[in-house]
Structure 1
């Protein structure tokens, strides 16, 4: 199955003890690439590609809840750099 996972920049509303600063907007692509590489290394992930400047297309043998469970540790690790918005099945 294919999925689109969409992300956004950190905003002032996201600032907290776990996210103390707003990363430079021009570094968002770098963080998205790093997340894509981490996801590509997960078991059960067949392919990961970047779509536009805010989304990843992920091919995996999973449904949306199972995929999100696989992604959770990576998203938590990158919590201070970008935010997950949604996961859509394509």
Structure 2
């Protein structure tokens, strides 16, 4: 069964930009993300994301990835964020 994404990327520059996000999103890192709509999400990276192959609504194949964040205020709440929606990542200090 194929996996679908709202947006897929085939341009090498766009894929490189997505790949550049990955080293900033190690597991258990606390981050503040700014998304393409201006909203912000704060959380702990549950598992480092990877780029994967998806299909769009027109059955075109390309790359994207999902990041799972555990919410900082309510860790049982999870956020699933498509990598191509992230415009900025700010590392937050670890919990002492």
TM-score > 0.5 by shorter chain = no
Q: Which has the greater radius of gyration? A: 2
More helix by share: 1
Q: When the two structures are superposed, what TM-score results if normalisation uses the length of structure 2? A: 0.27
Higher RCO (C-alpha 8 Å, min separation 6): 1
More strand by share: 2
